[in-house]
Amino acid sequence: MKLFPYGHATHPHWEMAAGLVLAQLRAHMALPDYANAPHLGLLYITDHYATHAQDILSHLSAELPEITDWAGTVGVGIAANNVEYFDEPALSVMLCDIAPEHYRVFSGVAPLAQAGMGNLRGSSFVPHTALLHADAQTPDVPELIAELAQRTASGYVFGGLSASRTDVVQFALSGDGNIAGQGKATGVFHGGLSGVAFDAQVALVSRVTQGCLPVAKVHTITGADNHVVLSLDGEPALHVLERDLQISLTNTQPAIAKVRATLVGLSAEHDPTIKRTGEFDDAVLVRHIIGIDPAREAVAVAKAVDVGMRLTFCQRNAAAARADLTRICAEIREALEPEEMTADLAGALSADTHTNPHPARRMAGAIYVSCAGRGGPHFGGPSAEMHIVRRALGDVPLVGFFASGEIAHQELHGYTGVLTVFTTEA
């Protein structure tokens, strides 16, 4: 597996942006370290281009006939190596050097077959993991994500919810316009789920980074009614909220303002919640507080809860988000670098942060899905979030988007980033 060609551009006219992206892709494909005959393309566009989604896909497909399969979606922002495009028309493309027998594009037209159940393109393909795009307006989307994850052998999926202020579109195209299972398909979909499943031969490393910091200790939910937390540690939940936030609801205006700035971190009874460094573990789901119930002295949250779950009141924190993003990048880098290396190789790797990834790092390409509420503005400046990733990983080919919810494991997250790196052979 060679480096994945990629390109990105912004322009008021999508045709011009596409031309710039195609020039970058072809330049990469002419280099010896990059793949020259990939088959799978990943396409992300900002919502400024959403109404032109079909034209963009048709144009790229015609200009890159060797790319037989496409997947992707729309975001309020998109990402590429070292750059973020927010509130401007832009597109980002990466061509993956993965043999067709090792992946399957799926959509509502051609659902992903259950692991071990065979499929329409041959019974030998077994989905191990999947890149997943989903429409937030689809009913029961968290349950659909979990169900799709169970169709993979690993139970792990990664991706995000499409985010758009105009059309919400997804790209899913296979075999020159024919999605296996239902004849001619345009490749642009509205609603439901789509993406790419990979078999166990496609090696990747994926990590979740949290963006919130606890403001008090972890509590156990001891009373619950669907989305309403009735009691924490045997005490009325509203009393605990007031104490943890150091507020009094008798002083209404400042109290409500502080509650609105507070979220909850939820985890299962036996899952770890807070790391030694103070950030949330990636098993924690961050959800909004959606109301308080003075009559029952309760707190309502944006997820059904059960007795025994762990709950921590938290707030978005830029410093914690930066530290945690740096941590997951370091974990990925360390997981891929050789356990033993010469002094010369160690020196080369330490100096190789602004050039193509060193072969010893075994990084072919990456996908980064972050919350639409993160990005450069949250991290302190334009493209600041992607600058952190580049400093840690080097100039690895990368595309992604800023989503209205992030997908990792079998769960829908919020205020997180999901970084996945495709690895070359050892």
Residues of the chain with pLDDT under 70: 115-123, 176-185, 271-272, 275-278, 338-361, 425-426
Compute the distance between CA of residue 102 and CA of residue 206 in angstroms, rounded to an integer: 18
Q: What is the pLDDT of residue 363?
A: 93
DSSP state of 303: S
Closest by Cα among 264, 256, 263, 255 to 221 = 264
Identity at 92, one-letter amino acid code: S
Closest by Cα among 127, 149, 128 to 193 = 149
Host H or E run for residue 24: helix 14-29
**Over 203-220, what HEC string results?**
CEEEEEECCEEECCCCEE
Compute the distance between CA of residue 44 and CA of residue 18 in angstroms, rounded to an integer: 12
Closest by Cα among 146, 34, 32, 117 to 413 = 146
Helices (H), 234-313: 237-245, 252-260
Closest by Cα among 18, 6, 27, 162 to 83 = 6
Residue carrying the six token digits 């939910």: 221
Beta-strand relationship, 103-106 and 193-198: antiparallel
Compute the distance between CA of residue 289 and CA of residue 299 in angstroms, rounded to an integer: 7
- Report the SS3 class of residue 10: strand
Compute the distance between CA of residue 360 and CA of residue 424 in angstroms, rounded to an integer: 9
Q: What is the pLDDT of residue 204?
A: 95
Q: What is the pLDDT of residue 121?
A: 47
Q: What is the pLDDT of residue 120?
A: 47
Residues 337, 348 contacting (CB under 8 angstroms): no
Q: What is the pLDDT of residue 180?
A: 55
Q: What is the DSSP string of 338-361?
A: -SS--HHHHHHHHH-SSSSPPGGG
